[in-house]
């Protein structure tokens, strides 16, 4: 926990390489003590993805979001909103990379989860539908 807190301080100071170092140390300790699909690992994977995003390492962002998704998929029900949020993060990174077909695929998966859990008038449902339309325009 302390290593993550130190990393967050470095992140707030925009010292991303130092933040990355402390998150990696935290991950090593967690991997030693926890199973490889323990939900507590997901926090560190998310933190690492955030730092990699800040330094423009989009492939590493995707790698860590996919690890996060794998853990959440084993820990939560398939339609859990937390899984939908991770799917949306994967969408955004794919969109930033210009991989619009992959972004569309993940947006559609995330939209199914949103529709399953929220009303059709909920702002998050409306937003993801707009995101899908935006991606479709980029694909054309």
Residue spans of the domains in the chain: they are 1-75, 78-140
Structure confidence at residue 52 (pLDDT): 98
Domains 1-75 and 78-140 share a fold: yes
Structure confidence at residue 55 (pLDDT): 97
The architecture that CATH gives domain 1-75 is Alpha Horseshoe (1.25)
Predicted TM-score of the model (pTM): 0.91
Go through 35-71 and write b for each residue having 16 or more CB atoms within 10 A of its CB, e for each that does not: eeeeeebbbbbbbbbbbbbeeebbebbbebbebbbbb
User: Which CA distances in Å does 98 have to 13, 92, 106?
Assistant: 29, 10, 14
CATH topology assigned to domain 78-140: 1.25.40
Contact 135, 116 (CB under 8 A): no
Burial of 90 (0-12, 13-18, 19+ CB in 10 A): buried
Point out the residues of the chain with pLDDT beneath 50.
none
Structure confidence at residue 78 (pLDDT): 86
């Amino acid at each position: 926990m302390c290593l993550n807190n130190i990393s967050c301080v470095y992140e707030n100071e925009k010292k991303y390489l130092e933040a990355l170092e402390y998150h990696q140390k935290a991950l090593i300790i967690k991997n030693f003590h926890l199973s490889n699909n323990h939900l507590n690992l997901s926090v560190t994977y998310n933190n690492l993805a955030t730092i990699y995003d800040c330094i423009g390492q989009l492939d590493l962002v995707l790698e860590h979001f996919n690890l996060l998704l794998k853990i959440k998929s084993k820990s939560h029900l398939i339609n859990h909103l937390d899984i939908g949020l991770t799917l949306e993060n994967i969408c955004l990174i794919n969109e930033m990379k210009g991989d619009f077909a992959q972004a569309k695929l993940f947006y559609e998966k995330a939209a199914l989860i949103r529709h399953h859990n929220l009303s059709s008038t909920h702002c998050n449902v409306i937003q993801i539908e707009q995101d899908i339309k935006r991606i479709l325009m980029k694909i054309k």
